[in-house]
Structure 1
């Protein structure tokens, strides 16, 4: 999730548990602690794919953060003891601020390595877009209320209410995900589509319109499903270029990317480069994680040893408007095949 939302979440959690004694400082402490796991973005892991796939690794591990909570609680007690609340309450607060950060991240599509250093695949429940105002607004209002009214010597019910509303909203997003997948699976069954994988995620900045990807051999289908649709969803077939992946059999970067994304990838031969795109993130035809992994030479493909992330265009406001309109109106559908064709050009 975006850093602002994580700071708001940390501030709200800390204020709800320690605000009565720490006052407005609880908001500051919680916001700082709530952004701590994301500081791993300053680490250079070697190349663009390493930076992508090692982010949300050790810094988002349940094991590491639980140990860190113990250390921070002990250190805080040593430096500035407060007899008004127990060490257990202090530890619980720090632990919950850190845990809620990584668990919220796991609701996005990116992938969070909750069980690092175990080699389990990253957790991505994919029910929340990385920026979702409906989740963030209750937390923002709670923090603003705490800053204006104060929290010391009060029971911060506003903080607890904001956390409850945000948590209920997460439940709503999971229901939306299930709705979208069930509707697409019904169409797949009717058309006899045998998918090797199905992936769903909300479209940008909302949880009402869902993008569902169905992978079948050398192509994939994309479909949009809204809570307000009255007709079955339409599955748009798009070439995936999986045959090109054979040229990457010796690529460690490609193997790492497959593990991290669960194989929800697309391959394109563009400008004598073999481009690999993570289809999970962004929107059809606009995906922020795209890499050139090989270049064509006289005899075939040659792996690129140092991989860089291809530049991404700025968000297309007209397309965002079209996506917003699609939430409420199923027809006319969005030109997904046309948008997906944008990937057939150099980055």
Structure 2
């Protein structure tokens, strides 16, 4: 999830664990802990682009990391606040829960997390977008109401508890909506007599009303969208995989690593003589556009060692049009 959401979640967890003893300090350190796992993006800036992608939401988003870091951070803060009515164990408990809830939340997004690192398993339930105002804003409001009250106030704990409950209920609701949208897509495929080997669904940006689906039909994918306000049947767009464009690059280490990252949901495209690896899990900017533009696309650059990659740049002006199209599509076809 986005940084603000993780800060809010971390602060609320910190308050739930230790707020009664240390007041707003619990929120402060919970918020700090909630951002620590995403420091892997800073580490990635010192690595090659492919490795940076691979480590994102890796070890720093694991149970191992939370268990190892919590007592260290707990000891450090206990030394800073020796006069506060909280022990090293108290602070360690706060850091553990603030750290572990970060990847637990991220697991609900499309990118997912390697919660069980070092095992090569990435959890990605794909039931919420990385930025969802309906999840974050009510949560933030309850947190602000809580932090304005004295640490011993029962209302403070009530507001914080409500924030945790409301956000959790909304998360459960997104799972229900994902299940309903999945049934809509599979029913449409059956009605249109389309045979497929796999289907992958996820919410559109900033909402859980509009949902997208990728369907594997062999040498191509079908891409579709469904809004809960739709009145017309679901239509699918045919997109060839074009993996043959890779030629001799197909068995290179770079392609194998990209395939693992994309979980084999990808297409290859050619533009101005250049090859691009398009990660299909994050879909396209506008499904109705004449020429599809993929959210995550990497240029494949020949090098002496095989291939290097460069992430395609995004056009800010084009993004504005995409957001307008998204808003219109969300309210039905």
TM-score by length of 1: 0.85
Equivalences for 1:80-229 in 2 at 5 Å? Answer: 80-81=81-82, 84=85, 89-120=90-121, 122-147=122-147, 149-155=148-154, 156-229=157-230
Task: Give the secondary-structure state (helix, strand or coil) at the position aligned to 1:316.
Answer: helix
Helix, strand or coil at the partner of 1:39: helix
Give the direction of change, closer, same or farther, for the CA distance of 1:213–1:38 in structure 2 (3 Å limit).
same
Instruction: Please say if 1:289 is aligned against 2:301.
Output: no
CA contact (8 A) 1:127 1:201 kept: yes
User: What SS is found at the alignment partner of 1:307?
Assistant: strand
Shift, 1:107, TM fit = 0.8
- In 1, Cα distance between the equivalents of 2:72 and 2:99? 13
Q: Conserved in 1, the CA contact under 8 Å of 2:132 and 2:207?
A: yes
Map Cα deviations across residues 268-293 of structure 1 (whole Å, 9 max, x no partner).
02222211011222644443421122
Answer whether contact 1:8 1:143 (CA < 8 A) is retained. Answer: yes
SS of equivalent residue, structure 1 residue 221: strand
Q: C-alpha distance in 1, partners of 2:55/2:182? A: 29
How many Å separate the matches in 2 of 1:272 and 1:123?
36
Match of 2:248 in 1: 247
Report the count of equivalent residues: 323
Give the one of 318, 321, 343 matched to 2:321: 318
Q: TM-score, normalised by structure 2?
A: 0.88
Report the secondary structure of 1:210's partner residue. Answer: strand
Distance change in 2, residues 1:241/1:10 (3 Å): same
Bigger CA drift: 165-174 or 67-76? Answer: 67-76
- What CA distance in whole angstroms lies between the structure 1 residues aligned with 2:197 and 2:248? 21
Which sections of structure 2, spanning at least 5 residues, go unmatched? 286-291
Q: Please, which runs of 5 or more residues in structure 1 have no aligned partner?
A: 296-300, 331-347
| CA drift at 1:328 | 2.2
Could you say if the C-alpha distance between residues 316 and 307 of structure 1 is closer, same or farther in structure 2, counting changes exceeding 3 Å?
closer
Matched position secondary structure for 2:223: strand
- CA gap of 1:91–1:286, structure 2 versus 1, over 3 A, is farther
Relative to 1, partners in 2 of residues 1:209 and 1:302: Cα closer, same or farther, differing over 3 Å? farther
Give the Cα separation in 2 of the matches to 1:317 and 1:13. 35
Is the 2:189–2:195 Cα contact (8 Å) retained in structure 1? yes
Contact preservation (8 Å) 1:48, 1:307? yes
Per the alignment, residue 274 of structure 1 pairs with 275
Distance in 2 (CA, whole Å) between partners of 1:102 and 1:183 is: 29
CA contact 1:57–1:112 (8 Å) conserved in 2: yes
| 2:25 matches 1:34 | no
CA shift in 2, pair 1:36/1:73, >3 Å: same
CA distance in 2, matches of 1:87, 1:193: 60
CA RMSD of aligned residues (A): 2.4
**Is the 2:221–2:238 contact (alpha carbons within 8 Å) kept by the matching residues of 1?**
yes
Deviation at 1:67, TM superposition (A): 2.0
The Cα of 1:60 is off from its aligned counterpart by: 0.7
Query: Secondary structure of 1:29's partner?
Result: helix
- Determine the C-alpha separation between the residues in 2 that align with 1:151 and 1:143: 13
Give, in whole Å, the separation in 2 of the partners of 1:319 and 1:289.
Answer: 15
- Comparing 258-267 with 224-233, which one deviates more in the overlay? 224-233
Taking the aligned partners of 1:328 and 1:289, their CA distance within structure 2 comes to 25
